[in-house]
């Protein structure tokens, strides 16, 4: 690589206004601080799967040297990545599996299905196997949203009295979650728990419930362990959040190996664990017994 600048496209699902994605960007930039021979070029499809494919095609036409991609729609993404494969441009996929390992050099993600299962198991444990739940999902095309939801439902399957009574599409965004969960609150006279597939949507649910005077009625669980969410857990507002580590640093490790002509790990599964507010959970349980 000495003397040559490698252009690397970075295309996430949503970049601006989504703290987890902004964290991914910062972690990639930080890991490359000592590598001026790598030039990053970011693009934001703003959650639009068709726009993401158009961005990919523009970067392909511009002959970038490598691509780091967080795919929105696996089917559309695979069609675009076949063109990268034909052009011999290496691809690193993060956070969402596209189900076609021949089209990328490295896959880096959390076990989203397992995170969903652990969220369901948490509700089952603290609610004694019975309760009314609402799920707030991210972009419904994304494998992360699909897998988190599937894992959540798998965990609830053995608890027939723990019911999902409503669901909303929050598209990973705080403002959308506030709007959609406000409508769910109007539809549902009883809500015991909320599983939000990321912390921005969990915060949206909390704020919507607070505006309706119903926050204390329910336990809200999110994913990502953002600093803001950990603060809400510490304050006893959010019941729990599950760590979803940034794949940015591991993506850079794979990228540098690829650019140097070295092998890289074909798959990296990131570790996760929960942060929970025992005080909030106990307060909810005590109120339920009254």
72 and 210 within one domain:
no
Asked if residue 208 is part of any domain, the answer here is: yes
List phi, psi (to 5°) of 12.
-95, -175
Cα 289 to its chain centre, rounded Å, is 34
Query: What's the pLDDT score for residue 147?
Result: 96
150 and 105 within one domain:
no
Asked if residue 68 is part of any domain, the answer here is: yes
145 and 239 within one domain:
yes
Query: What's the pLDDT score for residue 15?
Result: 80
205 and 127 within one domain:
yes
Averaged pLDDT, 47-60: 97
266 and 279 within one domain:
no
Could you give the number of structural domains in the chain?
2
Query: What's the pLDDT score for residue 1?
Result: 41
Domain range enclosing 62 = 6-110+245-270
118 and 32 within one domain:
no
Burial group, residue 131, by CB count within 10 angstroms (0-12, 13-18, 19+): buried
Query: What's the pLDDT score for residue 11?
Result: 97
129 and 60 within one domain:
no
Query: What's the pLDDT score for residue 4?
Result: 84
153 and 17 within one domain:
no
Q: What is the pLDDT of residues 3-52, one digit of tens each?
A: 689 999 999 998 888 899 999 999 999 999 999 999 999 999 999 999 99
Tell me the average pLDDT of the chain: 96
Asked if residue 1 is part of any domain, the answer here is: no
206 and 117 within one domain:
yes
CATH number for 182: 3.40.50.2300
Alpha-carbon distance of 155 to 145, in angstroms, equals 16
Query: What's the pLDDT score for residue 72?
Result: 94
Q: What is the pLDDT of residues 128-184, one digit of tens each?
A: 999 999 999 999 889 999 999 999 999 999 999 999 999 999 999 999 999 999 999
169 and 104 within one domain:
no
Alpha-carbon distance of 77 to 196, in angstroms, equals 25
233 and 116 within one domain:
yes
176 and 103 within one domain:
no
Burial group, residue 99, by CB count within 10 angstroms (0-12, 13-18, 19+): exposed
Residue 2 above 90 pLDDT?
Answer: no
**Is the C-alpha dihedral spanning 40, 251, 245, 198 positive or negative?**
positive
């Amino acid at each position: 690589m000495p003397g040559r600048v490698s252009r690397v496209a970075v295309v996430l699902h949503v970049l601006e206004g989504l703290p987890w994605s902004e964290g991914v960007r910062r972690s990639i930039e930080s890991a490359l601080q000592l590598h001026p021979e790598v030039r990053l070029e970011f693009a934001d499809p703003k959650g639009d799967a068709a726009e993401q494919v158009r961005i990919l095609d523009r970067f392909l036409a511009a002959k970038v040297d490598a691509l780091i991609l967080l795919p929105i729609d696996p089917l559309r993404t695979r069609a675009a990545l076949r063109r990268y494969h034909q052009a011999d441009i290496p691809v690193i996929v993060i956070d969402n599996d596209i189900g076609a390992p021949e089209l990328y050099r490295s896959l880096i993600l959390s076990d989203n299905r397992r995170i969903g299962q652990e969220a369901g198991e948490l509700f089952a444990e603290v609610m004694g196997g019975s309760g009314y739940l609402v799920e707030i999902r991210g972009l419904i095309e994304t494998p992360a949203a699909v897998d988190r939801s599937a894992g959540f439902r798998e965990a609830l399957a053995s608890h027939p009295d723990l019911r999902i009574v409503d669901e909303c599409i929050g598209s990973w965004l705080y403002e959308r979650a506030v709007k959609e969960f406000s409508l769910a609150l109007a539809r549902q006279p009883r809500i015991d728990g909320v599983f939000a597939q990321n912390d921005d949507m969990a915060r949206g649910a909390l704020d919507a419930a607070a505006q309706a005077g119903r926050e204390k009625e329910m336990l809200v669980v999110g994913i990502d362990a953002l600093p803001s969410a950990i603060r809400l857990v510490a304050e006893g507002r959010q019941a729990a959040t599950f760590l979803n580590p940034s794949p940015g640093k591991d993506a850079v490790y794979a990228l540098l190996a690829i650019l140097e002509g070295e092998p890289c790990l074909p798959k990296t599964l990131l570790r996760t664990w929960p942060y929970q507010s025992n005080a909030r959970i106990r307060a909810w349980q005590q109120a339920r017994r009254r």
